[in-house]
Amino acid sequence: MSVIDTSGRPASRLGALVAGIDAALVTLLVGALVLWFLPVNMGRYGTYVLSLWLVTAVAAMGLNLILGYAGLKALCQAAFLGIGAYTTALLTKAGVPWIAAFGLSGLACFLVGIVIGFPALRVRAHYLGFVTLAFATVVWLIMRNEQWLTGGTFGLSNIPRPQVFGWSTDGALAFHRFVVGVTLVLALALWWLVRSPWGRAFLALRENPVRAASLGIDTRLYTLMAFAIGSAYGGFAGALYAPLVEFIDPSPFSLAASFFLVLMVICGGAGFMVGPFIGALLAVALPEWLRFTGGLYLLIFAASVLVLLILCPGGILGLGERALAALRRRS
């Protein structure tokens, strides 16, 4: 919401400042501040779970750009997460600084995303889903079978934690705060992107590609860029995941993981900036909260997600949006 005069221009400098602030931005900033201090007394494992939630949310943010904003059906985000993780692990174990490995991981996934995105120029809907599913299968098989490169099922161990500008992140709390900072920067970059003309072009592409093309939008370019940027976020998430767990093997990057990321985006609210964080929180934290049920926690988790999707197919934030709209109509 913004403060504008009747001509549509900001009423003042204060009005222009308010116009640039929305609920998503405030939520991101306040959430980062809370998460910076939250794990002080949570112990090593609790801090690890919080960090894993944020890393997963970064991957889900990229998929949200592809699926929620551009409307492309992609089922390969876990593959890009794996590419980023293995790239970072191999480079940092070879002595490359983490920040360089981070950038190269994102760049590698961006370039692969452009190549894989070309089929999106010819196929849509579930056909694109099949293409990305085949790509995810090939990547997982390479990770599993090319032992000379990835370690195969034995994986890669002793992945070093980042040393950034002389700051060591070896401790659980230090690395968590590092993850909070990187996640905030990536979230703000994506927030700016979806509010820019590029973001409006992505939404037009999602709603009606034919009409978007008739308005002069280069649908080929924006389709490729949505897929490539979202893929790069998968690579960035992998660059954080590898030093978080300090050991990687192919199992976290399977087809099931790609479907799980899609589930996060849908449950949180596709097309909402904060949706991936809510969906990732459900996917990472809810099973931990249900562990007191013993062996039934996965069954209860699956049933809870099924009920959520039935009751609010637009996700939690979609349900909240409809509730607010109903309240406004009554007032």
> In this predicted model, what pLDDT tens digit does every residue of 151-168 receive, in sequence order?
999 999 999 999 877 788
Specify the pLDDT at position 120: 67
Specify the pLDDT at position 326: 80
Specify the pLDDT at position 310: 80
Specify the pLDDT at position 157: 94
Task: Establish if 303 belongs to a structural domain.
Answer: no
Look at the chain and report how many structural domains it folds into.
Answer: 1
Task: Establish if 155 belongs to a structural domain.
Answer: yes
- Asked whether 68 and 272 are in contact (CB, 8 A), the reply is yes
Question: What's the whole-number mean pLDDT along residues 49-68?
Answer: 95
Task: Establish if 122 belongs to a structural domain.
Answer: yes
Using only C-alpha atoms, the chain has a radius of gyration, in whole angstroms, of: 20
| Gap between the Cα atoms of 65 and 87, Å rounded | 23
pLDDT tens figures, 278-325 = 999 988 888 777 777 776 777 877 787 788 878 777 888 888 888 888
**Of 202-211, 232-241, 301-310, which gets the smallest average pLDDT?**
301-310
> DSSP readout, 141-196?
HHHHH-HHHH-GGG-EE-PPPPEETTEE--SHHHHHHHHHHHHHHHHHHHHHHHHS
Q: What letter does residue 97 receive in the DSSP assignment?
A: -
Is the pLDDT score of 67 beyond 80?
Answer: yes
Read off the pLDDT band of 82 (50, 70, 90). Answer: very high
Write out the residue range of the structural domain in which residue 198 sits.
24-261
Task: Establish if 266 belongs to a structural domain.
Answer: no
Angle between helices 172-195 and 43-63 (to 10 degrees): 20
pLDDT tens figures, 97-151 = 999 999 999 999 999 999 988 876 776 667 788 889 999 999 999 999 999 999 9
Task: Establish if 331 belongs to a structural domain.
Answer: no
**Of 68-72, 129-133, 240-244, 299-303, which gets the smallest average pLDDT?**
299-303
Specify the pLDDT at position 119: 75
Specify the pLDDT at position 194: 93
Read off the pLDDT band of 20 (50, 70, 90). Answer: very low
Specify the pLDDT at position 13: 43
Task: Establish if 282 belongs to a structural domain.
Answer: no
- Termini Cα distance of the chain: 18
Is the pLDDT score of 11 beyond 70?
Answer: no
- Asked whether 225 and 236 are in contact (CB, 8 A), the reply is no
| Gap between the Cα atoms of 105 and 102, Å rounded | 5
pLDDT tens figures, 162-197 = 987 778 888 889 999 999 999 999 999 999 999 999
Task: Establish if 59 belongs to a structural domain.
Answer: yes
Is the pLDDT score of 83 beyond 70?
Answer: yes
Specify the pLDDT at position 234: 97
Residues facing residue 156 across a β-bridge: 248
Task: Establish if 12 belongs to a structural domain.
Answer: no
Specify the pLDDT at position 10: 41
- Asked whether 93 and 105 are in contact (CB, 8 A), the reply is no
Which residue has better confidence, 209 or 34?
Answer: 34
